[in-house]
Each structure stands twice: as C-alpha cells, then as structure tokens.
Amino acid sequence: MPESTLQPHDPAIARTPGGRHVLTILAADPVERLATFYEAVFGWARRVDVGHYVELDLPGGQGLGIYRRDILERLTGRSLPAVEAGEARGVELYFHCADLDAAIERLAEVGATILNPRAPRDWGDEAAYYADPEGNILVVARPLA
C-alpha cells in the first residue's frame, strides 16, 4: 500500500483530532470480482493491485480498498463470514453522482442487486440503494434541486 502523505504537522490533522478519512477497506472473495464491479460502476482507476489487495483511487485522494477475506481475517483476528446471495451487510457506501441516471444504468448493466429504487429522500437527496457482489450496501444519490 502507498505510504501516507499526511505528516504530523498537516493542518488537516490539526483541525480534526479524530483524524481524516482516507481509505475504506472491504473484504471480498474473490477480490477481482468486487474491484471490477466498482471500476465498471464508477470508472475509478487502480492505484494498488497486488492480487490479494486492490485499491481504487477515488476523487479527492480517498481510496476504496478490497482485501481478500482470509487476509483481512488474519489482520483483524476476527472471522468475516460471507453474506448469502440476496442478503446485505451492515455496511453502507454512499456516493453523490454528477450523473445519477448513468450510475443507475451502469449498476443495472453489471447486475447489481437493487434494494430500494431511486426516490426522493427525507434528507434532501434522490437516492437508490443497491447491494454490491459482497452484500455491501451501495447508495448512489444526488441532492434534490
């Protein structure tokens, strides 16, 4: 994985005592299936690819990492059971999309499981809920006008 570019004197760290979110990591088996899914939906490029771990480059310098399940289990010391087909995990990834229609179309093309169709939401977004191939909840949204 790439070395962190944050330095102890980085103003972003000084303003946020809890830290700054730079990377979300998901477990997958196989890694390639989930990496290809997110590449196809969002067009993110790989910045790390070592077989058992893939990291996608998100806008703003953040990343989405995908670890092979057994390696993440070894690192955490915890069992990470797979989700049965049609079920969802208690993980939600929420993305605002400049072109919500195109994002929904790509999700349909890659066979994402729809959980809750596109609709206006009480918090001011129009959002659609899907499950990725590992059962993680994926939301594509845009602010309502």
For residue 60, give both structure tokens.
């703003």
Query: Which region holds residue 73: left if phi is over 0, alpha if psi is between -120 and 50, else beta?
Result: alpha
β-partners of residue 9 are: none
Confidence of residue 9 (pLDDT cuts 50, 70, 90): low
Domain extent listing, the chain: 1-82, 84-145
| Integer Cα distance of 3 and 5 in angstroms | 6
Give 13-67 pLDDT, tens digit per residue. 556 567 788 999 999 999 999 999 999 999 999 999 999 999 999 999 999 999 9
Mean pLDDT (whole number) for 104-129: 96
To the nearest 10 degrees (0 to 180), the angle between helices 31-42 and 100-109 is: 150
CATH domain 1-82 topology: 3.30.720
Is residue 113 pLDDT above 70, yes or no? yes
End-to-end CA distance of the chain: 39
Report the chain's mean pLDDT, rounded to a whole number.
Answer: 89
Kindly report the CATH number that applies to the domain delimited by 84-145: 3.10.180.10
Any idea which residue has 């997110």 for tokens? 38
